[in-house]
Amino acid sequence: MKAGGLDVRTKLILLLYTAIVVFAVPKLWLEVTMFALCSLLHIIYGSVRRSLKYLVIYAAAVAVQFFLLPKLSGAALMTVSIFAVSFRRLMPCIMAGRLLLQTTTASEMLNGLQKLHIPIEVTIPLAVTVRYIPAVKEQLQHIRDARRLRQFSKRGGFLHRAVRSMELYYVPLLVSAVQMSDEITAAAVTRGIEDPCRHTSALERRFGTADYLLLTLLAALTALIIFTRKAAVA
């Protein structure tokens, strides 16, 4: 599946559905199902290595919950459980969100939100965010490359290295972030993003077979959740 194979509305529904289901229905089988679904989508979009990294982290969290947590108590139990339970539940949501951000352009996001009749006060910040995050990530990579070229030393104590890292990374990144936000905002205003009229788009996305298949799968999963809960009550 090529980037943009799924409609942006389907990705938004997947993200919202994952966030609601994982926390509203705290069942491990459901959590694993959503994790497997998001992993499959990442693999289809070509992010095999990232999917494997998520799998290793998730498997480690599950192993910690079943094998290590029963042997702990007190503060250690609470600290480890944050990673083993809370962070683990967030992983399907993180994967769905990352899929949305990395496979959706600002134009696709704006077009999809308009079709959902989302107010412009919501669509503008989301569209700018989709463009802003990759720009910050790219700028951070440039800062790292410049640091390697200048061969800064890592010697010194912890405090010295912390201050040095702040000087080398965060200060340039903050300055660049402010500049990029101004540039992206100016570009968006130039393209008429603040115009209250309905915007036209050269990219006209429609639901395809993959969208209907995924939505059908989510509907079937919802029916299964309702059935299992009724069976448990009975």
Q: Which of the two residues, 38 and 150, has the higher pLDDT score?
A: 38
Residue type, 181: S
Segment 44-70, tens digit of pLDDT: 988 899 999 999 999 988 888 888 888
Residue ranges of domains in the chain: 1-104+206-234, 106-203
Phi-psi sector, 151: left (phi>0), alpha (psi -120 to 50), beta: left
**What pLDDT score was predicted for residue 161?**
66
Element (H, E) at 64: none
**Residue bearing tokens 């029963």:** 70
Tell me the three state secondary structure of residue 157. coil
**What pLDDT score was predicted for residue 3?**
43
Q: Which residues of 83-116 are buried (b: 16+ CB within 10 A; e: fewer)?
A: ebbeebbebbbebbbbbbeebbbbbbbbbbbeee
Q: Which of the two residues, 59 and 77, has the higher pLDDT score?
A: 59
Read off the tokens for 19: 């966030």
| Average confidence score pLDDT of the chain | 81
Comparing 3-12, 131-140, 187-196, which segment has the lowest mean pLDDT? 187-196
pTM of the predicted model as reported, rounded to 2 decimal places:
0.74
Whether residue 32 is predicted with pLDDT greater than 70 in this model: the reply is yes
Q: What is the 3-state secondary structure (H, E, C) of 94-134?
A: HHHHHHHHHCCCHHHHHHHHHHCCCCHHHHHHHHHHHHHHH
Comparing 25-29, 81-85, 146-150, 217-221, which segment has the lowest mean pLDDT? 146-150
Residue type, 219: A
Segment 102-145, tens digit of pLDDT: 888 877 887 788 888 888 777 777 777 777 777 778 888 887 78
Read off the tokens for 22: 């994982």
